[in-house]
Structure 1
């Protein structure tokens, strides 16, 4: 089988292909395409030649799936990290690399050692000094960057429950999209992003704040460290990474001023529009947004610097739910069962693997997968009661204590009794 016949293109590849094709059609310049993808103009020209020669698969690097011939052996990596921990633990990577060569005969570059130490948690990246805040120019094309945030507000003015508007605004055009939810969290973020993708396509990047939904503040687990991950990801971060979407985190409300100003306008205009129509529930509010936002965009949308839409439309049968879901690693017990929350599930088919992933999807369904393949399962509704629990229940049904029993008396009464007894 030829190399190009084995390649399966991802959303990330389709995103690169979209930018290259738009540049080939001369709807944007090669420089603009390079800025969208974060590569050089020379790389864009190389990709264009490759796509012209072999077709869409030319966007994929030919080294994908192959181990690098220049990769440093694992035993050398392990020895270098061990020597650093025992002898050079207060050295910087540059000096440590020099001493490893000088005293231990291990020849590696300082940047290679720096990367190893960061992965092992023995070195931290140094932050650059923050620059003075300044005005940022809009992105050039529709879909190049979308700002996302949730607005907590009494949108129905007491006529119904308090809701959260998960809002999206395109940076280049000011095009607005949104939907109401009961709270701001992972599932609302994933569901709203899925609906946005179905309407417009996958954007190149998403700009959000540092809410725990969008950015994890936890620490890497030992398993994640062994997998070579350098930072913990929230479920939303992981989903967007799988889709090839860059998630950018703002350090201040001013940095995402476009979405903040949008919420200020909507909390005035949208609230009054829903008041006029007497909207009292979340479903009614979401139904109204379908007609409100097209009118709003027609009135306030601005012309971008480039009229090209760089959203990537997923293939017709592409399953977004396999990415936009909460994935939880689980272990199959000896009785072939898997627990998720307080519920137990029986795996109906044989598998040699012990590790599975439970996927809780936005539509309320659940999948149990192993190596990407769905496993058949059934919900265990009746579970036996443990003997110890049954005995405890029996004990609690004994006759109540007498009225003059000591434990019925207050602490003050018992203390006074003890004082009088000792005073005699």
Structure 2
């Protein structure tokens, strides 16, 4: 970018909602996180237009998405001050008023106001004033206009306001067509039901809005982050990165502190942060009808899946999750596959997914140089060598998707070694039951 463009990008640039969406989409394409085809679907434009926007972004940065006429009036538009002056000059004629043509000549000769009689007529009639030579139909129109305005002022307080009949945006669920491409929108939810064994369990499930395919499903005892992580892992492993999720409003997906007022200061949940890193948009709604696809799926699953689980003799969550793999393939062949066109992006490597779908927790190093997590003690290691950090050193415990524990201290990630219970105590002295004494290592050797 040129020096001028750099100076422009340093200024605070505010965009409208449409401009912001366009900016984030093009930026994702520029950074290699989205394909041009995916961007054209999201923006509803051609790939050729995406190329133009990319070129503009390379040249101007974020400023390229601000409309050129933002905050400016057309050059030929009459100023408000001039309009007010023209109306006041016309009102100044008390007994006899000039016609519009004559008044236009007066403005030009005496007041240096140069406009056509058509423009002056629009200003005068717009103020509810009449020319002596106004036609009958014009007089009736202006009279009706004034009468309507006066009536609206009188009954305005008595009439119900339109705002009172509006439905809150988050409670609205207008009908919409099915998405065209696989991966364009996935609906996700968890269903509590006695699926097997007579006990309540939770089935986390995601369905593709376009194809109607189940793209991920996982049983757990509760609706948990772990359950949704497993669903997301299945999606990434089998299909790739989707464009967006539609879910209900639960803290697993989104959280915004009441003290936070700016969008950029919102905090991400762990699931939300993982999706943010992958470039997946999360849309939420507390209205079941807004995500009707997954709600209807839950009803279908509750009527069919428990019977099949019972016939297969399933009694545990582990057996149920193993059974789901084959069952979903059969379900999709029967009810899904409504489209083959896809906008799924290529998923990251297995190792990267393993760290993206991790649970991160803050901890401090204790006096024994250990870190306690889930009632276990861990020691950072590097190249199979134990690393000892000072007491109260701040650390982040990274519980990876595969169960491995990593420790981040001062922006450096270490592997960890789980300490066994006996390792927390000294091995230099042993109590010998036969003699009832404490013996040192040297004493033990000589004996």
Band of TM-score, shorter chain? 0.5 to 0.7
Paired with 2:418 and 2:35, the residues of 1 have a C-alpha distance of: 48
Once residues 251 and 267 of structure 2 are traced to their aligned partners in structure 1, the CA distance between those partners, rounded to angstroms, is 12
The partner residue of 2:248 within 209, 225, 230 is: 209
CA distance in 2 between counterparts of 1:42 and 1:299 reads 38
Structure 2 residue matching 1:174: 3-state secondary structure: coil
Task: Report the CA distance between 1:134 and its aligned residue.
Answer: 1.6
Return the offset for 1:311: 1.1
- Cα pair 1:329 1:357 within 8 Å, conserved: yes
Q: Which residue of 1 aligns with 2:273?
A: 238
Counterpart residue number, 1:328: 361
In the alignment, the residues of structure 1 paired with residue 227 and residue 356 of structure 2 have an alpha-carbon distance, to the nearest angstrom, of 14
Looking at structure 1, the residues matched to 238 and 353 of structure 2 have their Cα atoms a distance apart, in angstroms, of 13
TM-score of the aligned structures, taking structure 2 as reference length: 0.55
Q: Conserved in 1, the CA contact under 8 Å of 2:218 and 2:230?
A: no
Question: 1:230 Cα shift?
Answer: 1.6
Task: Quote the Cα distance in structure 1 between the aligned partners of 2:59 and 2:291.
Answer: 35
Structural mapping, 1:108-119, within 5 Å: none
Task: Decide whether the 8 Å contact of 2:36 with 2:47 is kept in 1.
Answer: no
The answer on whether the counterparts of 1:330 and 1:357 sit within 8 Å (CA) in structure 2 is yes
> Which structure has the larger Rg over C-alpha atoms?
2
SS of the residue 1:153 aligns to: strand
Deviation at 1:325, TM superposition (A): 1.1
Offset, 1:322 = 1.3
Q: Structure 1 regions of 5+ residues with no counterpart? A: 1-11, 24-29, 51-58, 65-127, 386-424
Q: In the comparison of the two structures, how many residue pairs are matched?
A: 286
Matched, 1:22 2:34: no
Equivalent residue number for residue 254 of structure 1: 289
TM superposition shift of 1:248: 0.9
Which residues in structure 2 correspond to 1:164-313 (within 5 Å)?
164-177=202-215, 178-216=217-255, 230-304=265-339, 307-313=340-346
Matches within 5 A, 1:20-419: 20-22=35-37, 31-35=40-44, 44-46=50-52, 129-130=168-169, 132-156=172-196, 158=198, 161-177=199-215, 178-216=217-255, 230-304=265-339, 307-316=340-349, 318-332=351-365, 336-347=369-380, 348-349=386-387, 354-370=393-409, 373-380=412-419, 381=421, 383=424
Per-residue CA deviations over 1:61-120 (Å, capped at 9, x if unaligned) read: 9979xxxxxxxxxxxxxxxxxxxxxxxxxxxxxxxxxxxxxxxxxxxxxxxxxxxxxxxx
Closer, same or farther: CA 341–47 of 1 in aligned 2, 3 Å:
same
CA contact (8 A) 1:146 1:170 kept: yes
Contact 2:369-2:389 at 8 Å conserved across structures: no
Gaps of 5+ in 2: 1-26, 63-166, 381-385, 427-447
Residue 68 of structure 1 is matched in structure 2 by none
Q: Is the 8 A contact 1:13 1:60 kept in 2?
A: no
Asked if the contact 1:147–1:206 (Cα under 8 Å) also holds between the matched residues in 2, the reply is yes
Partners of 2:393 and 2:60 in 1: how far apart? Answer: 33
For 1:140 and 1:331, locate their aligned partners in 2 and report how far apart those are by CA, in whole Å.
49
- How far the C-alpha of 1:298 sits from its partner, in A, is 1.4
* Separation of aligned partners in 2, 1:289 and 1:360: 25
List per-residue Cα deviations over 1:134-188 (Å, max 9, x = no partner): 2022222100111111111111152xx4321111100111111312222211112
Kindly state the Cα deviation for residue 202 of structure 1 after the two structures are TM-superposed.
Answer: 1.3
Deviation digits for residues 355-400 of structure 1 (CA, Å, limit 9, x no counterpart) = 4311122333211023653224444545579xxxxxxxxxxxxxxx
Alpha-carbon distance change, 249 to 132 in structure 1, aligned in 2, over 3 angstroms: closer
